[in-house]
Structure 1
Amino acid sequence: MATRPNFDQIRAMLAQNKGEEDEPVDDAAGQLGSGKTPVIPPAPGSIRETGLNETFLENLLMKMLFRRGQLTLGQCCVELRLPFPGVVEDTYLALKREMLLEVKGGNDLSTVGLRVALTNEGMSRAKTVLEREGYVGPAPVPLDAYKQQLANQPVKWSQVTDESMRQALGDVVVSEATLEKLGPAFNSGRSMFLFGNPGNGKTLISERMARALRGRMLIPYAIEVGGQVVQYFDGSYHTPVPSAMERKRLDEGGSPPIDTRWIVIERPFLIVGGELKLAHLDLTLDPSLMYYTAPVQLKANGGVLMIDDFGRQQVSPRDLLNRWIVPLEKRLDYHTLPTGLQVAMPFEVLVIFSTNMEPKDLVDEAFLRRIRYKIEIGDPTEDDFRRIFRTCCGQVGLAYDQEMLDYLVDRHYFQENRPFRAVHPRDLLSQLVDIANYTGQETRLTRDLLDRAVATYFVAL
């Protein structure tokens, strides 16, 4: 279930990331996204400059006071993420004239310090509004403003080079043949299909490439679409990055010089798996909250969306691809609101379909043509397996032993006719450490510990 934006949680997330404040980003250092810190738009100086109409803002302020009770006008500014002069001030005065809001006390020397509350008529009006429009939180930005901001900060996928690919993958062992296929696929910025046996790094490769973006972008807390509010910011997927101006506003309060309806985040990387339903791809009106929540592909705009374990979702592959035929080609995602209004949302996201199944068993040739790149992440060769094993020894704090690796490969792979998988070294060594710790043995590679790890890891299929 969706929840309303929590400003205190966002404040805490910004504080946690304090050390990253205004760090310069160098695209040459294996970072594929736009390296510039986004420029936050200036604060609106009037209601008109917010892109929202007077009635919308009056209703939003009334709903907030209905939920929160008495607040100072300064607190209203913080909650709505709007400045006082020309915006909150004018909204407050309009409600006061209509006798929907009254002053309860506060600092007579400062209008911002006045405590206000709804009158009985205001309470009745707010309750009626909440029954049809339940959103309470930071004021949204208009859809057109969101589209323009997204267009101003595109992902520069064309910057992907062989060098940046290798830097991004780091210690992930990928064959040269696979690397030569992955590079152009990521460079295109278009959809791709990664397939192959489980445990060979499809998800890890995607995560490393997404991490290489490391760019920052602006997103709104919410978007206004045809008079309706779509909650956009999701702390589960979006990582806020503080800026000096934002921190000053948080610490000192008052009217911000910037439009704080926008928040700077790291470019998103979303993974959805078997829980995905067709309904998750549409603007969803939460009946208990009475406002819309953004679908996963909208939250992933400007970044990467990975459909993990494709073919095992609660939506069929055919239905999923039918739903995304137009977005994948046109970069526009059409939604129809209950009012009948059709809206076109941007679809600026790199979609990665990942599966352990054969693509031809999931969809027909016509659908596969919609996905530009089909790349098999195959089983590692023996040489690759040995490289992975050696790397994993260092990661778990074990001294590498060539003789013990020879024993593992000969006894438990060749003699058992067992295929290599990229994930095996990490898992086997982790279990070996667990067994050694439990039995009180020295943590090192031995035949006995390797045999025990294998016995508890592999099962006959």
Structure 2
Amino acid sequence: MATNQQDLGMKAPKTPEGLGIPYALVTDLVLRRILLDGKANVASLARALALHAGLVDNIVQELRDKKEIEVLGMEGRNYTLALTQFGQKHANERMAKTRYAGAAPVSLDVYRAVVAHQRLAVSVNRAVLKDAFSDLVIADELLDELGPALNANGAMFLYGPPGTGKTSIAERVVRISPDMVLVPRALEVDGQIISVFDQTVHIPADEQPEELDARWVLCSRPRVVVGGELTGAMLDLTYDQSSGVYLAPLQMKANNGVMIIDDFGRQVLTPDQLLNRWIVPLDRRVDYLSLNYGVSFEVPFDVKVVLSTNLDPSDLGDEAFFRRIQTKIFIGAITEEAFDWILSRVAHTMGVGCNADSAEYLRMMCIREGGDLRPYLPADVCKLVKAVAQYEGKPSVLDQANIDRVLGLYYTRGVGGSGGYGKSDARRSMAEILDSPKGSEAVSGPVSTF
């Protein structure tokens, strides 16, 4: 379901007033575009600047009257335009301020209104979540914790040991709202241009509405994922000296969508620093940004923030911090049934032969070496089985011999004289392991049929 552009009035403006931005900024864009291209026509200018061709034609006529643009001739049905000497002088002066010559920006007021209209309003039940997470194996009990956390406004905190699927769950949160939203290519504030649209974040619809104001792009709801590289500078405007353009911060690019901070607590930006930076946005759903000469302005903060960590929560923040993150969900090891189901699907997809006995043996060995079952283990093991098979020129089969071999590669070996690896020696026979107390426990659970 796409955003209703008619309700938003997102048709391409045909008059300067309809653009909602300073007219001088628009004429400067036209001059800079022609200066960069050498020559142009109305159609090429309209495409480059994301403006209605009729509006561009009127601007060109005005600049011709001012002796800044001249007509060189015709190519087909289009007049070929170039800058006069006076126009080049003016364009170079404007180029010294900013080299931006892309899509015309939208106004801050309109941006606020559009973000508010497209607000991420989540309302899910177990059936919706099962569909959104259909490619993951998640217990109903965990879904029943995720559902209320997603329905609640505010940030969500996922914690637990490494490799339990926290990131995979977080990355799929955006699926619960499969509708489309409008994202501006650029924003105008106090005569400055802020670049918002980011091809690494925003995924455009295959077809854009014909009458849509081309300064906007119809996209899937954005999903921003950032890990240990997060710094405080990424949460503020960045001024590009070479172009004279500001780059929007990550949370602004994530508006109407989801922002995932993975490996939370391992960033250069400490949890306390993040809280201090976002204390107002998390409470009031607005953020404050500043231009490099001191002008501050308010922008929407319509972002579902998901924090994911394998660190102890008590090491990350105090009571004040976690009071602002009202939903905290522990994600631990998976069940034996889930492990078998994942192994079955992964083995089938990767073309690795597998049966119930090999599944039982692998499960038991993973518990011995790692202590519990993690959802990433089947894929890692199957990849190594295929690598061994390729090396030996044999079929890819998950049997006891191959399991012992790949686990010998997978887990670290002890550096003492025992010659073992991991927490034990997986090269021991099945009988030896079954004789041990832990081995008996490991095989006592149910085994799925493949």
- Aligned partners of 1:171, 1:70: CA distance in 2, in Å? 52
Determine whether 1:199 maps to 2:163.
Answer: yes
Structure 2 partner of 1:105: 73
1:135-284 matched pairs, under 5 angstroms: 135-158=100-123, 160-243=124-207, 245-246=209-210, 257-284=211-238
- Aligned partners of 2:170, 2:132: CA distance in 1, in Å? 10
* 1:338, distance to aligned residue in structure 2 (A): 2.4
- Aligned partners of 2:342, 2:209: CA distance in 1, in Å? 45
Residues 194 and 75 (structure 1), Cα distance of their counterparts in 2 relative to 1, 3 Å cut:
same
- Matched residue SS, 2:81: strand
Residues 307 and 412 (structure 1), Cα distance of their counterparts in 2 relative to 1, 3 Å cut:
closer
Determine whether 1:453 maps to 2:406.
Answer: yes
**CA offsets 1:170-212 (integer angstroms, 9 cap, x no match):** 1412233322211111112421111111111011112223234
Matched AA of 1:229: I
Matched AA of 1:454: L
**CA offsets 1:284-312 (integer angstroms, 9 cap, x no match):** 11111110111111111111110011111
Matched AA of 2:162: P
* 1:384, distance to aligned residue in structure 2 (A): 2.9
- Aligned partners of 1:264, 1:392: CA distance in 2, in Å? 35
TM-score after normalising by structure 2? 0.87
Whether the 8 Å contact between 2:354 and 2:399 is mirrored in structure 1 is no
* 1:69, distance to aligned residue in structure 2 (A): 1.0
- Matched residue SS, 1:453: helix
- Aligned partners of 1:259, 1:171: CA distance in 2, in Å? 36
Structure 1 partner of 2:383: 430
- Aligned partners of 1:36, 1:136: CA distance in 2, in Å? 29
* 1:417, distance to aligned residue in structure 2 (A): 6.2
Structure 2 partner of 1:92: 60
Whether the 8 Å contact between 1:171 and 1:391 is mirrored in structure 2 is no
Pairing partner for 1:65 from 34, 39, 43? 34
Structure 2 partner of 1:50: 19
1:304-319 matched pairs, under 5 angstroms: 304-319=258-273
TM-score after normalising by structure 1? 0.85
- Aligned partners of 2:139, 2:212: CA distance in 1, in Å? 48
- Matched residue SS, 2:338: helix
Structure 2 partner of 1:331: 285
- Aligned partners of 2:269, 2:121: CA distance in 1, in Å? 32
Whether the 8 Å contact between 1:242 and 1:264 is mirrored in structure 2 is no
Matched AA of 1:65: I
- Aligned partners of 1:417, 1:275: CA distance in 2, in Å? 28
Structure 1 partner of 2:352: 398
Identity %: 37
* 1:447, distance to aligned residue in structure 2 (A): 1.0
- Aligned partners of 1:200, 1:57: CA distance in 2, in Å? 52
Matched AA of 1:156: A
Whether the 8 Å contact between 1:54 and 1:91 is mirrored in structure 2 is no
**CA offsets 1:420-459 (integer angstroms, 9 cap, x no match):** 2121111111211221122111212211111122112122
Whether the 8 Å contact between 1:38 and 1:216 is mirrored in structure 2 is no
Higher Cα Rg, which structure: 2
- Aligned partners of 1:311, 1:146: CA distance in 2, in Å? 32
Residues 244 and 128 (structure 1), Cα distance of their counterparts in 2 relative to 1, 3 Å cut:
closer
Matched AA of 2:117: N
- Aligned partners of 2:242, 2:208: CA distance in 1, in Å? 37
**CA offsets 1:291-340 (integer angstroms, 9 cap, x no match):** 01111111111111100111111211211121111111111010111232
Residues 411 and 81 (structure 1), Cα distance of their counterparts in 2 relative to 1, 3 Å cut:
closer
**CA offsets 1:215-236 (integer angstroms, 9 cap, x no match):** 1111111111111111111111
Whether the 8 Å contact between 1:38 and 1:217 is mirrored in structure 2 is no
Residues 328 and 102 (structure 1), Cα distance of their counterparts in 2 relative to 1, 3 Å cut:
same
Whether the 8 Å contact between 2:208 and 2:217 is mirrored in structure 1 is no
Structure 2 partner of 1:345: 299
Determine whether 1:301 maps to 2:301.
Answer: no
* 1:73, distance to aligned residue in structure 2 (A): 1.5
* 1:37, distance to aligned residue in structure 2 (A): 4.8
Pairwise CA RMSD? 1.9
Structure 2 partner of 1:22: none
Whether the 8 Å contact between 1:38 and 1:264 is mirrored in structure 2 is no
Determine whether 1:77 maps to 2:46.
Answer: yes
Structure 2 partner of 1:15: none
Q: Where do 5+ consecutive residues of structure 1 fail to align?
A: 1-34, 247-256
- Matched residue SS, 1:378: coil
**CA offsets 1:357-416 (integer angstroms, 9 cap, x no match):** 0111011111111112111111123333233222322232334311112222334423x4
